[in-house]
């Protein structure tokens, strides 16, 4: 066997890992580098949806209103804007569908007062006191209307009903005080016509000065429909209901 044959045989019988050490190492290095790049890219791709989700989340939806609540809101906006004719038309439309809506019925009375239609407002508040006698606010506003008309006895009776229904209703107490003062003034004036005295005259003047700029204050806060309904339910079965 020649020297060249022994060299070829020796090369052929070497283990594979010893044949081309210089070529195998670069291939492995490139493979590992490529794998690392792929994993890094995969990590980036998997991170993107989470980041995108945090950015594009929509805000929570606004609370949904029932058709009745949406109608009430529209009425309140018209009243706040002073569009009383439009508000009254919207109220009448609303009450055809929700005739037991105490809040909107109360608002109707207030709108009629603002429009100077006091006789209609008295009818509106009177009907409320009959259908929802537990609510003090309609009685108070009814008293304000009676006082404007000079019917102080009716105003006093209405305010006393308001206080019976809600003993903590401060506005009604203040208004009742004004009514009593007005009734006292009328009594002093009648006394002076019958038998004038300095004592009665002085007191009448004091009351006149005190009450001249005064008027019975209505309330603008509407009663709660839930409160009205609850009270109505409590009265079922009583007094022949």
* pLDDT of 16 above 50: no
Burial of 155 (0-12, 13-18, 19+ CB in 10 A): buried
First to last CA, the chain: 130
Mean pLDDT of 78-93: 96
* Other beta carbons within 10 Å of 234: 10
Q: Which of 27-36, 125-134, 143-152, 201-210 has the lowest mean pLDDT?
A: 27-36
Which has more confidence, 6 or 238? 6
Structure pTM?
A: 0.64
Q: Which residue has the tokens 């945090």?
A: 54
Q: What local confidence, expressed as pLDDT, does residue 42 receive?
A: 43
Domains of the chain: 67-132 (1.25.40.10), 134-212 (1.25.40)
Instruction: Read off the pLDDT of residues 24-35 as tens digits, 9 standing for 90 and up.
Output: 555 555 544 444
Give the DSSP per-residue string, the chain.
--HHHHHHHHHHTS-GGGT-HHHHHHHHHHHHHHHHHHHHHHHHHHHHHHHHHHHHPPPPPPPPPPHHHHHHHHHHHHHHTT-HHHHHHHHHHHHHH-TT-HHHHHHHHHHHHHTT-HHHHHHHHHHHHHH-TT-HHHHHHHHHHHHHTT-HHHHHHHHHHHHHH-TT-HHHHHHHHHHHHHHHHHHHHHHHHHS--HHHHHHHHHHHHHHTT--PPP--PPPPHHHHHHHHHHHTTSTT-
Q: How far apart are CA 175 and CA 143, in angstroms?
A: 9
Smallest CA-to-CA distance from 143 within 167, 126, 120 is with 126
């Amino acid at each position: 066997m020649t020297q060249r044959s022994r060299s070829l045989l020796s090369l052929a019988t070497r283990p594979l890992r010893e044949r081309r050490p210089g070529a195998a190492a670069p291939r492995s290095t490139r493979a590992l580098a490529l794998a690392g790049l792929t994993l890094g890219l995969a990590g980036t791709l998997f991170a993107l949806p989470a980041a995108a989700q945090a950015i594009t989340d929509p805000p929570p939806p606004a609370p949904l209103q029932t058709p009745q609540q949406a109608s009430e809101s529209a009425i309140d906006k018209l009243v706040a804007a002073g569009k009383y004719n439009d508000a009254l038309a919207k109220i009448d439309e609303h009450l055809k569908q929700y005739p037991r809506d105490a809040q909107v019925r109360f608002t109707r009375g207030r709108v009629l007062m603002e429009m100077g239609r006091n006789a209609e407002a008295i009818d509106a508040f009177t009907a409320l006191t009959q259908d929802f006698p537990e609510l003090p606010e309609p009685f108070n506003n009814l008293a304000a209307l009676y006082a404007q008309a000079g019917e102080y006895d009716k105003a006093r009776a209405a305010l006393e009903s308001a206080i019976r229904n809600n003993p903590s209703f401060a506005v009604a107490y203040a208004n009742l005080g004004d009514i009593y003062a007005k009734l006292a003034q009328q009594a002093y004036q009648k006394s002076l016509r019958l038998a004038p005295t300095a004592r009665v005259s002085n007191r009448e003047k004091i009351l006149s000065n005190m009450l001249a700029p005064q008027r019975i204050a209505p309330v603008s806060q509407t009663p709660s429909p839930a409160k009205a309904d609850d009270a109505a339910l409590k009265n079922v079965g009583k007094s022949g209901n």
